[in-house]
Copies of this chain bind each other. A is one copy, B any other.
Amino acid sequence: MKYSEMSKKELLYEQEKVLHQYNQFKARGLNLDMSRGKPSSGQIEEAIGLLDVINSKSGYKSKDGINCLNYGCPDGLPECKKLFGEILGVQSDKIFVGGNSSLNMMFDYIMQCYTMGASEKNEPWIKQGNIKFLCPVPGYDRHFTICEYLGIEMVNVPMTATGPDMDIVETLVKDPLVKGMFCVPKYSNPTGVTYSDETVRRLAKMEAASDFRIIWDNAYCIHDLFGKEDKLLDMLSECEKAGNPSRAVEFASTSKVSFSGAGVAVLAANEENLAYIKKRYSFQTIGFDKINQLRHVEYFKNLAGVKRHMKSLSEIISPRFEAVLSALEKELAPLDIAEWTKPNGGYFISLDVMPGTAQRVYELCKEGGVKLTNCGATFPYGKDPEDKNIRIAPTFPTVEELADATDLLIICVKLAAIEKLLK
């Protein structure tokens, strides 16, 4: 029976029952964590062979004879560009290989636009007044904190099942002070939504400032679950076709393919952006770690190798997603007090509880022994305007821990809803 259809008496009865379950849970003294979008040890172990492919006997030269332990080759090894070109579906000459963190590359790129301008022809963003970024919400907190750090005003755009609400985007972007937009276009963090072809095309085509840039954070480009694969159009080609070839810069990494702390990050961009980015990096560093690039190429070999590896990771991750999703379905669906996403890939499930109760759910969970992602983390300035979104990160705990944690979460979602309805 839906909570909204219950009488006060029925709700009070339900409250007593759920509170009893809650207290039983609390008595177990659990200490679980569903907050971290972090691979489990099993995932890390799956790529452990990466540590062996380069050693003192294997040699340390690229196939073109580049000494990967010395200076040189600042834009990345050709074979590493090739591999990422295949992964992202772009020509390898559009790839720049960086260090271990795509977030750092996004930060550097935004800083470049901020201090020097988005191109040689544009004024630095910092000199253009109160500039703004569009932020599809819920979204990724570390995108938002870059804007917050630089004092860039963030404007929320609601996510739909096909990506950000494009009617709103097209209206907002007419403001010449809107200079950028963060997008996680595939298996979006945290909704798991993949942008539809129409969304991608509208983003590429819409009218915007010449120095408006889309930060196309393709973090989960090959991170399928359950053997299903969402298809995403290539943003760089769409921008080119639409006559806005410099509009988007794409970022990706192997942080959730090989090792989160020791992977390889890349960006992909059109010729103009790439030349400008390479120039900036030539002032910033002599070059990134090429031996780790070589290590990744030697281990994965090619796209087929990467896909095989991602399949084995999916076998580790999928049961965790299922544990959460099946419990939510069974316990919450009949009550009509919450909605959640059922993604085909990525790292998160996005749970919308009854508006005005997310913070209460967080606190109840914490007291009961389960840490959730901070409420509001999925919104700019940490402010969820409806206080309803909870990001569930199922990868790090074991399946058993997840089952426990989800049970408690469900209890807390119920309790908070009942409290609200009884008010």
A-side interface residues toward B, CB under 8 Å?
36, 38-39, 41, 44, 48-49, 51-52, 54-56, 58, 60, 67-72, 99-101, 103-104, 107, 111, 114-116, 126, 142, 145-146, 148-150, 255, 259-262, 280, 283-292
- Assembled-state Cα–Cα distance A100/B71 (Å): 11
Interface pair A100/B101, CB less than 8 Å apart: no
Question: How near does chain B come to A361, taking the closest CB pair, in angstroms?
Answer: 25
Residue from A69, A100, A126, A287 whose CB has the most chain B CB atoms within 10 Å: A69
Cβ contacts under 8 Å, A261 to chain B = 67-72, 287-291
- Assembled-state Cα–Cα distance A13/B44 (Å): 74
Interface pair B283/A149, CB less than 8 Å apart: yes
- Assembled-state Cα–Cα distance A70/B260 (Å): 5
Residue from A39, A54, A67 whose CB has the most chain B CB atoms within 10 Å: A67
Question: How near does chain B come to A239, taking the closest CB pair, in angstroms?
Answer: 26
When A262-B290, A285-B107 are in contact, do A52 and B56 touch as well, CB less than 8 Å? yes
Cβ contacts under 8 Å, A51 to chain B = 54-56, 58, 60, 291
- Assembled-state Cα–Cα distance A44/B60 (Å): 10
Identify 16 residue pairs between A and B in the complex whose beta-carbon atoms are under 8 Å apart, listed by A's number.
Answer: A44-B60, A68-B261, A69-B260, A70-B260, A70-B261, A71-B261, A72-B261, A99-B99, A99-B100, A99-B289, A101-B286, A103-B285, A146-B283, A146-B284, A259-B291, A261-B290
Interface pair B104/A284, CB less than 8 Å apart: yes
Interface pair B107/A115, CB less than 8 Å apart: no
Residue from A44, A99, A290 whose CB has the most chain B CB atoms within 10 Å: A99
The 8 residue pairs across chains A and B that have the minimum distance between CB atoms: A69-B259, A104-B285, A149-B283, A262-B291, A101-B285, A107-B284, A48-B56, A71-B260
When A52-B56, A126-B126 are in contact, do A288 and B100 touch as well, CB less than 8 Å? yes
Interface pair A289/B262, CB less than 8 Å apart: yes
> Given A67-B261, A101-B286, list of 20 further CB < 8 A pairs?
A44-B60, A48-B56, A51-B54, A51-B55, A52-B56, A55-B55, A69-B261, A69-B262, A71-B255, A72-B261, A101-B288, A103-B286, A107-B284, A115-B115, A115-B126, A149-B283, A261-B288, A261-B290, A289-B289, A289-B292
When A67-B44, A103-B286, A115-B126 are in contact, do A52 and B49 touch as well, CB less than 8 Å? no
Question: How near does chain B come to A72, taking the closest CB pair, in angstroms?
Answer: 7
- Assembled-state Cα–Cα distance A289/B260 (Å): 9
Cβ-defined partner of A71 (8 Å) among B38, B146, B285, B291: B38
Cβ contacts under 8 Å, A291 to chain B = 51, 259, 261-262
- Assembled-state Cα–Cα distance A56/B47 (Å): 9
- Assembled-state Cα–Cα distance A288/B289 (Å): 11
Interface pair A70/B44, CB less than 8 Å apart: yes
- Assembled-state Cα–Cα distance A55/B259 (Å): 14
Cβ contacts under 8 Å, A49 to chain B = 56
Question: How near does chain B come to A110, taking the closest CB pair, in angstroms?
Answer: 10
Interface pair B56/A55, CB less than 8 Å apart: no
Cβ contacts under 8 Å, A58 to chain B = 51
Q: CB-nearest residue of chain B relative to A56?
A: B48
Question: How near does chain B come to A133, taking the closest CB pair, in angstroms?
Answer: 14
Cβ contacts under 8 Å, A104 to chain B = 284-285
